[in-house]
Amino acid sequence: MPKKHRVFYLLLLLSAAGLFLLDIFIGSVHIPFQEVVRVLVGGQSQKETWDIIILQSRLPQSLAAVLCGAALSVSGLKMQTLFKNPLAGPYILGISSGGALGVALFIMGAGALGFSMGDLSLNSSLGIALSSILGSVSILSLLIVVIRRLNDIMTVLILGVMIGSVITALIGLIQFFSYEADLKTFVMWTMGDLSAVTGNQLLILFPVVVFGLIASFMLSKPLNSYLLGETYATSIGVNINRSRMLIIIITSILTGSVTAFCGPIGFIGIVIPHMARFLAKTYDHRILIPLSILLGMNVLLLADILSQLPQLNFNLPINSITSLIGIPVIIWIIFKNKRMASIN
Amino acid sequence: MKTDLEIANLSIGYPNKTIASSINISTNSGQLIALIGRNGDGKSTLLKTLAGVHPPLSGDFRFRGQPVLTISSSERAKLLSIVTTYKMMLEHVCVRDFIAFGRYPYTNWLGVTSEQDDSLVEQAIELCGIASFSDRHYEELSDGEKQRVHIARAIAQQGELILLDEPTTHLDLINKIELLKLLKSLVQDHGKTVIFSTHMVEHALRIADEVWMIREGVVHHASPSELVKDELFRETFSSNAVQFDPASGSFRMI
């Protein structure tokens, strides 16, 4: 591995550790930094409420930022390579839209059946998670059937966008007929919320994301070959159908699980892979995947910190922060691609 | 010489359109084979079908006894390689790394190249005469340079059969001739079997050991000297504007 890449990894690891501590330190209740560290290393702080705030609220939120950032970044990288499209992201296949439909049906459907989501607070997060995963898996199953019939990745991409549009329309209809309180709960979920993640949810999210990231790294070799196009990839020995299916399944697991617990968080999946390529100046997924993991952690931790600065008496929606970071980068990608097209 | 390329009752095309059918050819090893025909006659489809990257409608193709169309893609990649006209948009890929893609079927699960892989990449670079730009990035190369890099990648793959779709496209005359000489050398000095499609019919007739000509869904095959005597050849490549002169072996404008 070139020295330049080792330096990037080290710096990003140190910066992620720093941002992680800062993210736990910052919040509406001021807790001295040494007390935060004491609790994190297993000790007890001066006040019991501080222990509760750190261990039950801030630590899960920061860990969720780390896991979401890593998962969404790697998912985006794989989608961009698979579709040879610089603007592809984890949501492009409509899988997260499927998750959103599941959640919309759960939240607003419960309202229609006479339950208010406020009454279901204990079970609601689990219900949201399960309905999101079920929705994602349904769309994924549909896509797998389509991929088996149509051996054309662009058709699948277009179909994914169409599925997303149809689901948005369905969600719009459900929203129209739903109660105001349920509508608010659903809209809050769509804004993305890392603070909603509990310690128990992390026990599921952590192994699933770690598995997805390791599996993604193990797909580095076929992912590299996809850069040549499917014809060449086949000609150098890649089993296209199998590797494409694996890439889509693992991406769905990563995106679906993260979306279920944290809501749909945009732009990270599109932006981070470009930052990784820009920094490392390489095509190699063996370098880009670890770099995207580290960059994703850093950026989402930073977004989480910005969303809850001490001067603010409330938390900003994380999606607004990631959009503000992401949109300038997307504009840069569009201009860069236009320049490349004119050179070629 | 032994027969090492056998095509039996092969039909090529798409589910709703047959491009050529009942293709039956047996050829000895170590041949340079030119594939000629008019635009849209199916040269690229035939090459892609033989390479296993496009499904056949029916039939069989065996190379050195191996059923090319039914073996795994990994086994097939060790047997043959293809160079197409597909334009790639690659960023941050240096020429040496691109050629190393040819070692894909031989590397471990993570794609780490061994010393032997690196040495074979260097040999391919030497053979194709591209050492002067082997450290440059792929996207910085001219179309002609890219063509040679693609051929080096195919050589690094170590397949005994190399298929090339219009490899002389984008090249100036000198580079075209040098490339055809390179293909000839791959056959004569390295024992490869090479099939290349081309619109440079005159050059193909001079350099190839055997010519396959596609016309109206039928693949005709013969030695260049036999083919030019065939009325079908003259019909295929003659028009009101141009005619083939068998005596000089060249085309002349009318």
Q: What is the nearest CA distance from B104 to chain A, expressed in angstroms?
A: 6
Tell me the CB-side half-sphere exposure of residue B242, using CA atoms within 13 A: 8
B247 touches chain A (CB under 8 A): no
- Determine, for residues A237 and B89 on separate chains, whether the beta-carbon distance falls below 8 Å: no
Comparison of pLDDT for B176 and A181, the residue scoring more: B176
3-state secondary structure chain B: CCEEEEEEEEEEEECCEEEEEEEEEEEECCCEEEEEECCCCCHHHHHHHHCCCCCCCEEEEEECCEECCCCCHHHHHHHEEEECCCCCCCCCCEHHHHHHHHHHHHCCCCCCCCHHHHHHHHHHHHHHCCHHHCCCEHHHCCHHHHHHHHHHHHHHCCCCEEEEECCCCCCCHHHHHHHHHHHHHHHHCCCCEEEEECCCHHHHHHHCCEEEEEECCEEEEECHHHHHHCHHHHHHHCCCCEEEECCCCEEEEC
| pLDDT greater than 90 at residue B26 | yes
Considering only CB atoms, which chain B residues are within 8 Å of A236? 77, 81, 101-102, 104-105, 157
Interchain contact A286–B (C-beta under 8 A): yes
Cβ neighbour number for residue B131 with a 10 Å cutoff: 11
pLDDT at residue A54 is higher than 90:
yes
User: Which residue has better confidence, B231 or A128?
Assistant: B231
Q: How far is A129 from chain B (nearest CA, A)?
A: 34
Q: Are B151 and B78 in contact (CB under 8 A)?
A: no
**pTM, rounded to two decimals:** 0.88
Whether chain B has a CB inside 8 Å of the CB on A242: the answer is no
Pick B109's closest partner by Cβ from A221, A227, A240: A221
**Closest residue of A to B90, CA-based?**
A227
Query: What residue of B is the nearest CA neighbor of A279?
Result: B92
For B111, the closest of A220, A228, A344 (CB atoms) is A220
Contact A221 B102 (CB under 8 A): no
Please state whether beta strands B161-165 and B3-14 pair in parallel, antiparallel, or not at all (unpaired): unpaired
Nearest alpha-carbon partner for B152 in B129, B177, B119, B175: B129
Tell me whether A282 touches chain B (CB under 8 Å).
Answer: yes
Confidence of residue A151 (pLDDT cuts 50, 70, 90): low
Query: Does B218 lie at the interface with A, CB-CB under 8 angstroms?
Result: no
pLDDT at residue B237, as a whole number: 82
| Global ipTM | 0.90
Predicted confidence (pLDDT) at residue A189 exceeds the cutoff of 90: no
- Do B73 and A286 lie within an 8 Å CB cutoff? no
What is the reported pLDDT for A279?
Answer: 93
pLDDT category at A325 given cuts 50, 70, 90 is confident
Q: Would you call A281 and B82 a contact, using CB atoms and an 8 Å cutoff? A: no
Maximum mean pLDDT: which of A41-55, A139-153, A305-319, B236-250: A41-55
User: Cβ A340–B111 below 8 Å, yes or no?
Assistant: no
Say what percent of chain A tops pLDDT 70.
Answer: 90
Contact by Cβ (8 Å): B37, B236: yes
Gap from A281 CA to chain B (nearest CA, Å): 6
Q: Per the CB < 8 Å rule, is A231 touching B52?
A: no
Is residue B15 less than 8 Å (CB to CB) from chain A? Answer: no
pLDDT in tens, A108-142: 877 666 655 544 444 566 677 778 778 877 887 78
- Cβ–Cβ gap A235/B77 under 8 Å: yes
- What angle, 0 to 180 degrees and rounded to 10, lies between the N-to-C axes of helices A285-307 and A59-83? 140
For B111, the closest of A84, A224, A229 (CB atoms) is A224
A237 touches chain B (CB under 8 A): yes
Nearest by CB: A237 against B90, B91, B104: B104
**Measured between CB atoms, does B144 come within 8 Å of chain A?**
no
Tell me whether A238 touches chain B (CB under 8 Å): yes
Q: What is the pLDDT of residue A114?
A: 60
